[in-house]
Amino acid sequence: MKPTAKRRFGRVDLTVTAMGFGAGPIGNQGRPVAEEEAAALVKAAWDAGLRYFDTSPMYGHGLSEARIGAALRWYRRDDYVLCTKVGRLLKARPRREIDFAPWVDGLPFEMRFDYSYDGTLRSIEDSLQRLGLERIDVALIHDCDLATHGARHFRGRFEEAMADFTAARGVYERIGSPSVALALTREGSMHALRGDAFPARAAFEAAVRAARDAADSQALAPALIGREISGHRRLSRQG
């Protein structure tokens, strides 16, 4: 594999390098990483030709987003693809009251799960603020699985995450009329929204059916992928 080879990202209008930069470690995963070291790691990845960068509000309780945004800020925005995640919201809290494990010296925010429509929009807006950038290219639904929530709570979390999805046409174009997609599309800030965490049609259909029919499911939630997600103003639920 050539790390810098360009590949189409699924069937949306995104091109990424075969290898990306995972920004979990610069959120102080397991050990502190100095600001200079974090910036140098991102620069080394850029100089090596990588153009796909992945972060999350979870990584260092927002620290990873803050650092990756600062490191990428003065590169031309159309020259790279940036991915973050939804499913957790951060709220300021005294450091002494926060359990940061497995992160070390993260930002002073506690995390709580929220896969709802409003929570998703809030998460994207907050991420844009931490990143200090005008756009997120990809937003993935994060950790909506049995391993994270256990058998007792997984079903409810999965249904919450899938509440605005309905079955539609095509394997990778199966968006019926989810409110999030419609609201962002009306704003001109999202070009595509797809369920793409599944490698096969049957798995994705099973997940949608599980959420819609309240059937038991052990499938992972699909990825929520949005091109040019913008948070310039708050969007409220439509209809």
The owner of tokens 């990584």 is 59
Q: What are the catalytic residues?
A: 54, 59, 85
The Cα 82–Cα 85 span in angstroms is 10
The Cα 194–Cα 83 span in angstroms is 14
Q: What token pair was written down for 234? A: 């708050």
Residue 157 belongs to what H/E stretch? helix 146-162
Integer angstrom CA distances of residue 219 from 30, 162, 203, 215: 29, 12, 7, 11
The Cα 25–Cα 67 span in angstroms is 11
The Cα 114–Cα 125 span in angstroms is 14
